[in-house]
Amino acid sequence: MKEKVVLAYSGGLDTTVIIPWLKENFDYEVICVCGNCGQEEELDGLEERALSSGASKLYIEDLTDEFCDDFIVPCIQAHAVYGNKYLLGTSMARPVIAKRLVEVARKEGATAICHGATGKGNDQIRFELAVKALAPDLKIIAAWRNKKWNMDSREAEIEYCRNHGINLPFSADNSYSRDRNLWHISHEGLELEDPANEPNYEHLLVLGTTPEKAPDEGEYVTMTFEKGVPTSVNGKNMKVSEIIKELNKLGGKHGIGIVDIVENRVVGMKSRGVYETPGGTILYEAHQQLEELILDRETYALKADLGNRFAQVVYEGKWFTPIREALQAFIESTQRYVTGEVKFKLYKGNIIKAGTTSPYSLYNESIASFTTGDLYDHHDAEGFINLFGLASKVRAMKMQETEGK
């Protein structure tokens, strides 16, 4: 019997070409696995395409709820943002896909896993670190880095298929390179390759519209959270995946979550892309709006630092590592009382606060108001400031003494 290889299959030209390439160069039986993380119409026609290209089998695995509950929610709770802008849409999806690749490889008795990520990007790192952590005995084939791979353009890939008697519904026309799942869609290529160019939003956007074209009337939205997990939108209880879908519609309508980023890839280069994350942007803002009421000052500050570290760990493909588990354990401990309701208005790309309530709010009106209350005496501040500023005063006195000599 032939050895089996599990291929991470998206249905695009690159991964479709890899099927006959694997068979020709390694004599493998190719089993394709497509992880459905909410990419919708991109899944149409995949089975026919994979089988007609030479695969023996295609698994289309619905990972949407696992993706949302086990990978997206921890990032929301951490407020994990890479480079101050990127909400980790691709970074969060790769480990859940890799996990299922390993599970199918075990089920099928495969000896190798193959991916179609290029040698310039982050995804090669994310896929391979995950496989190494979950199945160190499995061989990893990175087609684009393999010595037997000699295709460097869409035209070359299409010609390779023609030469092998495979007719595919792909053309050599130029288009954006996109990655889509329930959380976001990314766009790279064409005019975006030059940071001096303004994005062609008329041609580019998929999930929403620009703020200029958004409705002239704002729209109020109310959300609830329980222990840091979103539970409802506008009074309707829903699971996390349904909440994200609903917020994508609302956010897209009002021009929310469009960012133009020059990011620092793990491999050392800078890349430019436009990301649409309408629902995710709303969720991050709503969750933070609630945390402001509930977390004490020191916990809030430390959580911000560790949230940035969490984002870096996820971005670098280190999901299945002790450091991610440790960071997540801290973050989850901070979510015990993050329960309440947030209200905001969506208006032309903006998320505007409209009220936040929680049974665990640390905001005390009798302390915070300008009217003197029982819990705070203005005179107490004098002694506090004297002690809090003592080090600064002592240093200033010493500087006066030494500079006067």
**Positions marked catalytic:** 14, 94, 123, 177
Burial tier of 143 (Cβ tally within 10 Å: 0-12, 13-18, 19+): buried
Query: How many whole angstroms separate alpha carbon 367 and alpha carbon 380?
Result: 13
**Residue of 70, 73, 71, 83 lying closest to 311 (CA atoms):** 83
CB neighbourhood size of 378 (10 A):
7
Burial tier of 271 (Cβ tally within 10 Å: 0-12, 13-18, 19+): middle
Q: Please calculate the CA angle 55-60-62 and round it to the nearest 5 degrees.
A: 165
> 3-class DSSP state for residue 60?
strand
Contact between residue 35 and residue 126 where contact means Cβ atoms under 8 Å apart: no
Residue type, 164: H
Burial tier of 153 (Cβ tally within 10 Å: 0-12, 13-18, 19+): exposed
- Write out the two tokens for 81: 């943002």
Q: Please calculate the CA angle 206-82-73 and round it to the nearest 5 degrees.
A: 75
Query: How many whole angstroms separate alpha carbon 402 and alpha carbon 405?
Result: 6
Query: How many whole angstroms separate alpha carbon 204 and alpha carbon 118?
Result: 23
Contact between residue 140 and residue 123 where contact means Cβ atoms under 8 Å apart: no
Find the distance separating the first CA and the last CA of the chain, reported in whole Å.
90
